[in-house]
């Protein structure tokens, strides 16, 4: 298959180098989030970037047992599997409807800023085509999303509030103006703005979500394995299942051989 090419990690002698730095020098000197930044971006973060990264990853660390990812992770674990298998099942659930908004919002903001177009035109294009703008709107929060406020406050305190954050908030205001109704910049949108500010490619968007949420999935699978009985995650046929198919019927007589 020819050579497998990579620019991430190199082994020289018995030493491991991550993006050119000796791994053992990183151990003890970088925080975990700083090492995450290095391996994804290829360069060491500054102090501001480090603190922004810590905040971003912490903000998605868990969202309880209710989302599809926790359901899948715990159902798989309850089938009698190891920790790694349950965690992987949880990560599989992070499709376009579960963490995908972060990626879409990064794409929207990076392309929006790069295009040089006015926010007014961009918003009216989406609204007239009735396309949802990724990163905006929330089921409960109608005035502002407190998680967005928190991340934006931190971004400002770290002097990290640049053109992508400004664009993100300008879009929020423009939606309210054109639509006559507020669609708040939600937490996916806020992380998207900040990650874009840090110069990350939108194709990595789901990566932040995965890295940040994996500790939550580990905690859920560990909890399932240590506190629940095997096979605990199954539905109750009487209470949880509605059968919507055909009623019982007979097999045609010519098919019955035995």
Q: List binders of a second copy among 220-249 (CB under 8 A).
A: 220, 222-223, 225-228, 230-231, 233-237, 239-249
Least gap, CB of 22 to a second copy (angstroms): 7
Which tokens go with 238?
């009487």
Q: Which is nearer to a second copy, 57 or 119 (CB)?
A: 57
Q: Tell me how far, at minimum, the Cβ of 209 lies from a second copy, in Å.
A: 8
Question: From the list 89, 152, 175, 192, which residue makes contact with a second copy (rule: CB under 8 A)?
Answer: 89
Smaller CB distance to a second copy: residue 128 or 249? Answer: 249
C-alpha 171/C-alpha 122 separation (Å) is: 8
In terms of CB distance, is 92 or 170 closer to a second copy? Answer: 92
Which of the stretches 115-123, 145-153, 166-174, 176-184 binds a second copy when contact is defined by CB under 8 A? Answer: 145-153
How many CB atoms within 10 Å of residue 103?
Answer: 23
Report the distance separating Cα 20 and Cα 234, nearest Å: 48
Q: Tell me the closest approach of the beta carbon of residue 33 to a second copy, in angstroms.
A: 4
Beta bridge partners of 48: none
| 132 sits near a second copy (criterion: CB under 8 A) | no
**Is the Cβ of residue 14 or residue 130 nearer to a second copy in the bound state?**
14
Could you tell me the smallest distance in angstroms from the CB atom of residue 221 to a second copy? 8
Does 92 engage in binding with a second copy (CB under 8 A)? yes
| Interface positions, 165-224, toward a second copy (CB under 8 A) | 201, 203-204, 206-207, 210-212, 214-216, 218-220, 222-223
Give the span between the Cα atoms of 60 and 205, in whole angstroms: 13
Say whether residue 54 binds a second copy (CB under 8 A): yes
Which residue, 83, 92, 94, is CA-closest to 221?
83
130 versus 249: smaller Cβ distance to a second copy = 249
> What is the closest distance, in whole angstroms, from the C-beta atom of residue 173 to a second copy in the complex?
22
CA distances from 43 to 15, 20, 38 (A): 19, 9, 5
* CB contact at 8 A, 215 and 66: no
How far apart are alpha carbons 167 and 191 in whole angstroms? 13
Q: Distance between CA 167 and CA 109 in Å, rounded?
A: 7
Report the nearest approach of a second copy to the CB of residue 199 (Å).
14
- Of 7, 128, 130, 181, which lies in the binding site for a second copy, with binding defined by CB under 8 A? 7
User: Strands 21-22 and 9-12: what pairing?
Assistant: unpaired
CA–CA separation, 180 and 98 (whole Å): 28
- 217 with 87: CB under 8 angstroms? yes
Rounded CA-CA distance 213/68 in Å is: 13
Q: How far does CA 111 lie from the centroid of its chain? A: 19
Q: Does 131 bind a second copy (CB under 8 A)?
A: no
Interface residue with a second copy among 157, 173, 179, 199 (CB under 8 A) is: 157
CB of 88 to a second copy, least distance (A): 4
């Amino acid at each position: 298959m020819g050579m497998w090419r990579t620019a991430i990690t190199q082994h020289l002698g018995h030493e491991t180098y991550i993006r050119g730095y000796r791994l053992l020098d990183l151990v003890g000197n970088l925080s975990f989030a700083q090492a995450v930044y290095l391996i994804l971006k290829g360069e060491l973060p500054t102090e501001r970037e480090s603190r922004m990264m810590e905040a971003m990853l912490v903000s998605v660390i868990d969202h309880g047992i209710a989302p599809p990812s926790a359901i899948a992770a715990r159902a798989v674990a309850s089938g009698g599997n190891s920790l790694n298998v349950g965690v992987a099942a949880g990560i599989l659930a992070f499709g376009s409807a579960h963490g995908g908004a972060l990626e879409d919002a990064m794409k929207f903001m990076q392309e929006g800023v790069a295009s040089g177009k006015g926010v007014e035109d961009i918003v009216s294009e989406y609204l007239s085509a009735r396309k949802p703008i990724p990163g905006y709107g929330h089921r409960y929060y109608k005035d502002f999303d407190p998680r967005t406020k928190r991340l934006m406050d931190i971004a400002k305190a770290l002097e990290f509030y640049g053109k992508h954050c400004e664009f993100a908030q300008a879009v929020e205001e423009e939606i309210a103006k054109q639509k006559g109704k507020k669609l708040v910049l939600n937490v996916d949108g806020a992380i998207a703005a900040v990650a874009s500010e840090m110069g990350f490619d939108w194709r990595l968007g789901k990566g932040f979500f995965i890295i940040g949420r994996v500790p939550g999935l580990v905690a859920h699978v560990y909890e399932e394995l240590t506190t629940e009985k095997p096979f605990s995650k199954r539905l109750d046929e009487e209470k949880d299942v509605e059968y919507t198919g055909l009623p019982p019927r007979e097999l045609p007589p010519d098919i019955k051989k035995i």
